[in-house]
């Protein structure tokens, strides 16, 4: 994409991401990177095992400095979510209790609605090895879980954050089919341009003894044209293909074949004669 990072809009809004007792700095960094990819910026840590700040986290964040530099650390989960109005707890396994369980899509829509209403929200993520405790889930308002392979349901913490961050960004899009850039518009070639490609290619192949035996030449040409006609070339594509053929034609051609009947033979360099 054109332009530098400083020229692009930096999205930095949405729910707070809370990691409960994360272990590895690299995982925290990858979480920060996932957040930055999809417009989230506020990261909170509850008792990170290796302390904070963490050089490995900074390295793994891949320039998501605005997330890393504003990360807050708390001694308890209660303190980390005290200022939030609404909190989701992520989990891959069924929990006892009466909390509503939502899909990532519904959870993101709910978070978006509360964000628009001016409420402060958050998403809890548990430890790398065993997630959140039941007591920690109990502090959340609702549960969000991911539709994963039942036989392999465990997600890396950065993957879980990435999935929810992606759904968060989607929830704010007016058109889910929209893409950030389009292919360069090109005009379809005219039939005259296509015929010119046919003539140039067939002439180059003929000069190199491609059409053999001679009696099959008309059928071989038909097949070749059928292949080249299966899709609609643009003018630029025709130009590219003709440029390739022109480049090949700079090398010495074999002697033109004599259009005679009877058995043909090859000379020492493999040309037909």
Question: How far, in Å, CA of 27 to CA of 128, rounded?
Answer: 9
The single residue listed with the structure tokens 């961050």 is 165
Out of 41-45, 69-73, 156-160, 208-212, least confident range: 208-212
CA distances from 109 to 62, 75, 162, 179 (A): 28, 30, 16, 20
pLDDT of 164-189, one tens digit each? 999 999 998 877 777 767 777 878 88
- Cα 94 → chain centroid: 31
pLDDT of 206-255, one tens digit each? 888 888 888 888 898 888 888 788 778 888 888 888 888 887 777 665 54
Name the pLDDT band for 256 (thresholds 50, 70, 90).
low
Residue 123 in contact with residue 87, Cβ under 8 Å? yes
HEC profile of the chain: CCCCHHHCCCCCCCCEEEEECCCCHHHHHHHHHHHHHCCCCCEEEECCCCCCCCHHHHHHCCCCHHHHCCCEEECCHHHHHCCCCEEEEECCCCCCCCCCEECHHHHHHHHHHHHHCCCCEEEEECECCCECCHHHHCCCCEEECCCCCCCCCCCCHHHHHHHHHHHHHHHCCCCCCCCCCCCCCCCECCHHHHHHHHHHHHHHHHHCCCCCCHHHHHHHHHHHHHHHCCCCCEHHHHHHHHHHHHHHCCCCCCCCCCCCCCCCCECCCCCEC
pLDDT at 9: 67
CA distances from 24 to 68, 164, 174 (A): 14, 20, 37
Question: How far, in Å, CA of 207 to CA of 211, rounded?
Answer: 9
What token pair was written down for 156? Answer: 């890396």
Q: Please, which residues have CB within 8 angstroms of residue 200's CB and are 6 or more apart in sequence?
A: 242, 245, 246
Give the burial class of 44: count Cβ atoms within 10 A of its Cβ; 0-12 exposed, 13-18 middle, 19 or more buried: buried
pLDDT at 230: 73
Residue with more model confidence, 133 or 3: 133
What token pair was written down for 166? Answer: 């992606």
pLDDT of 14-46, one tens digit each? 999 999 999 999 999 999 999 999 999 999 999
pLDDT of 95-124, one tens digit each? 777 799 999 999 999 999 999 999 999 999
Domains of the chain, start order = 14-171 (3.40.1280.10), 191-248 (no CATH)
Residue with more model confidence, 162 or 238: 162
> In this model, does residue 5 exceed pLDDT 60?
no
> In this model, does residue 6 exceed pLDDT 50?
no
């Amino acid at each position: 994409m054109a332009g530098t990072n400083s020229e692009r809009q930096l999205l930095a809004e949405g729910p707070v991401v809370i990691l409960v007792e994360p272990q590895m700095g690299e995982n925290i960094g990858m979480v920060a990177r996932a957040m930055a990819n999809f417009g989230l910026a506020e990261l909170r840590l509850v008792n990170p095992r290796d302390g904070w700040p963490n050089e490995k986290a900074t390295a793994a964040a891949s320039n998501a400095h605005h997330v890393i530099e504003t990360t807050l650390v708390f001694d308890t989960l209660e303190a980390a979510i005290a200022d939030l109005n609404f909190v989701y707890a992520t989990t891959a396994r069924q929990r006892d209790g009466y909390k509503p369980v939502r899909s990532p899509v519904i959870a993101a829509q709910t978070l978006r609605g509360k964000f628009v209403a001016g409420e402060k929200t958050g998403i809890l993520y548990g430890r790398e090895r065993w997630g959140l405790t039941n007591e920690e889930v109990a502090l959340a308002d609702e549960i969000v879980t991911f539709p994963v392979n039942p036989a392999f349901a465990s997600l890396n913490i950065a993957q879980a954050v990435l999935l929810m961050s992606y759904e968060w960004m989607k929830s704010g899009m007016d058109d889910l089919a929209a893409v950030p850039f389009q292919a360069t518009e090109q005009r379809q070639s005219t039939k005259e341009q296509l015929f010119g490609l046919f003539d140039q290619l067939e002439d180059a192949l003929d000069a190199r003894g491609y059409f053999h035996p001679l009696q099959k030449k008309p059928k071989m040409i038909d097949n070749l044209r059928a292949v080249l006609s299966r899709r609609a070339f643009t003018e630029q594509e025709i130009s590219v293909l003709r440029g390739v053929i022109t480049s090949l034609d700079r090398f010495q051609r074999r002697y033109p074949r004599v259009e005679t009947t009877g058995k043909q033979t090859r000379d020492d360099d493999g040309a037909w004669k």
